[in-house]
Structure 1
Amino acid sequence: MKHIISVFGIVTALALFNVTALADSDLEKRVEHGYADSNGVKIHYASLGKGPLIVMIHGFPDFWYTWRDQMEALSKNYQVVAIDQRGYNLSDKPKGVENYDMRLLVGDVAAVVKHLKQDKAIIVGHDWGGIVAWTFAMMLPNMTEKLIILNLPHPRGLNHELTHNPQQQKNSQYARNFQQPDAHTKLTAEGLSRWVTDPEAKKKYIEAFKRSDFEAMLNYYKRNYPREPYTEDTSPVIKVKMPVLMIHGLNDTALLAGALNNTWEWLEKDLTLVTIPGAG
C-alpha cells in the first residue's frame, strides 16, 4: 500500500481548516434545511452548493453549524450536507440507550444520502462523527466514495491504546464518567459551549444545546464507548475499501496520537495522514 500526501489530501485539508472570517449570517440564509426519515427518526441537515455529495458528521458536543467554514469553502464544487446527529439540535431525540447503537447512527447517515437521491457520498466525521464515519465506511462501502476523519483514530487503534496505554486509560476517565446513569444531570448548555470562543457563535451553540437532549448525547458513550476491563478487539477485520484522509491535532488529550499507529493495517486503499502540532 502506498502512503502518500496526495493532492486530494492537501486540498481537502486546507479546505477543512479554512479559518477565513466569513459572514455567518449570510451563510445561514443560503443553506437549505431538510429532514431525512431514518426508520421513524427525523434527521435534520443543512445543505449548501451543488455537485458530488459530501456528508459531514459532527461530534460531542456540537451540531451542524460547526462545519460552516468548511461548507463555505467546499460548496463551490460540492453539495455539502452537515447533519445534526440524533439527540442534537433539530433532529429527533428518541429515549433509551438502545436507540443510540452505532448501527442506528450509521443508518441515519445512510438515510440522508438516500433522501438526497444519491448512491454514495464523501463521508466526513469529527470525534463521535468520526467513529460513525469509520463504521459507515466499513458497513456500507458501496455508499462511501472517500472517507475523511478528523481526530478520531480507527476504532481498533483506539481499542489498542485503551488496552495497553495507561495514559490513554487515564485520559478516558471523562468517558467513564459519562457512562454513569445520572451524568447528564450535570450538563448545561452554557457549560457545553465553553469551548466556543466567538461570542456570536456561542449564542447559537447555547440555543442549539438547549434544544438538544443531554441524556441522548451521553447515550453515545453508554452504548458505544469501550468499557473496563479494556481488551483487544479480536473480531474479524473489516477493511476500509476506499481512500482515507485523516487529520489529527497532536494536542488532543482525549484521543492520543499513539492510536494512529498501524492504521494502514485496516485499510485496502491509500491513507493520507496529516498531523497538526499544537492543535487539539
Structure 2
Amino acid sequence: MHPPASITLERVTLPGASAETAPWLNCRTAGPAGAPVLLFLHGFPEAAFAWDDMLAHFGAHYRCVAPNLRGYDGSHAPEGVAAYKAQEVIGDLIALIQHEGAPVEAVIAHDWGGALAWGLAALAPQLMRKLIILNAPHPGLFLQALRDDPAQQAASSYMNLLREPGVEHRLAADDFRLMWGFFERFGGAAWLTPAWRERYRAAWSATPLAAPGTPAAPSPLTGPLNYYRASPLHPPTSPDDAIHRLQLPEALLHVVVPTRVIWGEADTALPPSLLDGLAQHVPDLQVTRLSGLSHWLVHEDPAAVATAIAHALTH
C-alpha cells in the first residue's frame, strides 16, 4: 500500500489575448511531476475538492490535476453568460491539457464536468488516451430524453430553475437551503457531514475573480449557474421551445476515444436508462454499474469509485 499523496494548490494561467488578461484555473494537484496525467473535472454544485480522495489515491502513480472550472472558486469567473458556452469552457480544458503536456492518460469527469468531457473527447480525441465518465449523459441521448421523455423532463426540471435570472439570491438564502437540497434530493446525502458542509459553504461564498479589464461575476453562484443558462439542453417550457428543433452536430456526438462509463444506478436525476443506445455514439465502450450509489457516488463510496476508475485505467 502506498501512503496517500499530498494535495497542493496551483494557479494555472491559460493562453489569452495578453498576459494581463489571460484566464486562469485554480487547480488541486497531487502526484509526481512527469508522471502520466489524470485530469479530474467536477460538476455542479461541487468544486475540485470533491475529487480529493481520488487525488490522494491515484497520486501515488499519476500526476493528478483537478481544476475548479471557469466561474468556480478561485478560477477565472467572467460575468456574462456567453463566457460559459461549451466552446469557451472546453477551450480552457484544451489549454490546461496542453499546459500539462498532451495527451493526458485519462480525463475523468462527473456531472457538468462529464458534459464538457464528452464534447472535449469528440472534438479533440488526440488530447487523451481514455475518457472515464461518471454519471454524465452523452449529449445526444440527453437531448432525446429531455425532448421526448416526460420522466426525464420531470427529473431535470430543476435545470429551468437554475436558468432563471437572479436565482442566485434564492439559492443563497437561509444558509444555502436550496443548494443543500440538490445533494439531498438526488441521493439522500448521508455523507454530507458538517465538515463537508463547511467546505461547500466556503466555495459558494468565495468572491468571484476575473482578469483586469474583465467584469467579474456578481455572485459566487453566477458562474456555476451560467453553465445552465448558456446550454441549449434543458427541459422544454412550451410546445415551441427551441429544444424541439435542436440538432447537435455529429462532430459533437461521435467519440472514438476508448471510453469507460461508471454509473451510480440510484441516481434519480440521471437514471441509468440514459445509457441505453450509448454504443451507437461510442464504439469503444465499457460500462460499470454501481448499484446503491446515487449521483453523488464519489462522496458516497470513494473506495468503490477508486476501484472502478483503477479498472477503467488498466482495461
What TM-score do you get using the length of structure 2 for normalisation? 0.75
CA-based RMSD: 2.1
Calculate percent identity across the aligned residue pairs. Answer: 26
> How far off its partner does 1:109 sit?
1.1
Q: Give the residue type in structure 1 aligned to 2:85.
A: D
Map of 1:249 onto structure 2: 264
Q: 5+ residue gaps in structure 1? A: 1-21
> How far off its partner does 1:32 sit?
4.3
Query: 1:39-50 alignment to 2 at 5 Å?
Result: 39=16, 40-50=22-32
Q: Give the residue type in structure 2 aligned to 1:198.
A: T
Map of 2:194 onto structure 1: 199
Distance 1:106 1:234 in 2: 16
2:110 pairs with 1:126: yes
- For the 8 Å contact 2:14–2:24, the answer to whether it is kept is yes
> How far off its partner does 1:197 sit?
1.4
Map of 2:162 onto structure 1: 178
Map of 1:85 onto structure 2: 69
2:17 pairs with 1:33: no
Map of 1:208 onto structure 2: 203
> How far off its partner does 1:234 sit?
5.6
Map of 2:290 onto structure 1: 276
Structure 2 residue matching 1:218: 3-state secondary structure: helix
Distance 1:210 1:219 in 2: 16
What TM-score do you get using the length of structure 1 for normalisation? 0.84
> How far off its partner does 1:199 sit?
2.2
Distance 2:180 2:53 in 1: 18
Q: Which moved more, 1:248-257 or 1:152-161?
A: 248-257
Which of 50, 67, 79 is the equivalent residue of 1:66?
50
> How far off its partner does 1:233 sit?
3.3
Which of 221, 225, 228 is the equivalent residue of 1:218?
225
- For the 8 Å contact 2:29–2:63, the answer to whether it is kept is yes
2:132 pairs with 1:148: yes
Map of 2:303 onto structure 1: none
Distance 1:31 1:160 in 2: 41
> How far off its partner does 1:119 sit?
3.7
Map of 1:3 onto structure 2: none
Query: 1:214 and 1:32, CA in 2 relative to 1: closer, same or farther beyond 3 A?
Result: closer
- For the 8 Å contact 1:120–1:142, the answer to whether it is kept is no
Q: How many residues align?
A: 254
Q: Give the residue type in structure 2 aligned to 1:260.
A: L
- For the 8 Å contact 2:42–2:112, the answer to whether it is kept is yes
Structure 2 residue matching 1:111: 3-state secondary structure: helix
Q: Which moved more, 1:138-147 or 1:221-230?
A: 221-230
